Each structure stands twice: as C-alpha cells, then as structure tokens.
Amino acid sequence: MLRSSLKQLWDSPETLLKTLGINPEARAETLTIPQFCTLARALDPAK
C-alpha cells in the first residue's frame, strides 16, 4: 500500500494521498501515469 510505503518520506501520507485524489490503500503499480506524476510533484523538495 502506498500509505505504508510513504511513511518514511512524509509525516501523514494518508492525508497527502487523499488530498491528491489517490487512494491510500492503492498499490504503487496500480497508479496511472498522471497519478504517479502528481505524487512525484508533491514529494519533490525542490518545488
């Protein structure tokens, strides 16, 4: 699950994923390309 995988990178990954419109229970391999890009942008510290 994404929520579990992102706990090391983000304090509250469930909130982040819900805000981005991504199911926190989703597996990484089920993300669409646009969802993956949205998540990558949100986690990018350079923005």
Give long-range contacts, CB 8 A cutoff, 24+ apart: 8-16: 9/43, 10/43, 16/42
Domain count, the chain: 1
Residue 15, domain extent? 2-43
CB 32 within 8 A of CB 12: no
Model pLDDT for residues 33-46, shown as the tens digit of each residue? 999 999 999 888 77
Model pLDDT for residues 6-43, shown as the tens digit of each residue? 988 888 899 999 999 999 999 999 999 999 999 999 88
Is the pTM above the cut of 0.95?
no
Residue 8 is predicted with a pLDDT of 87
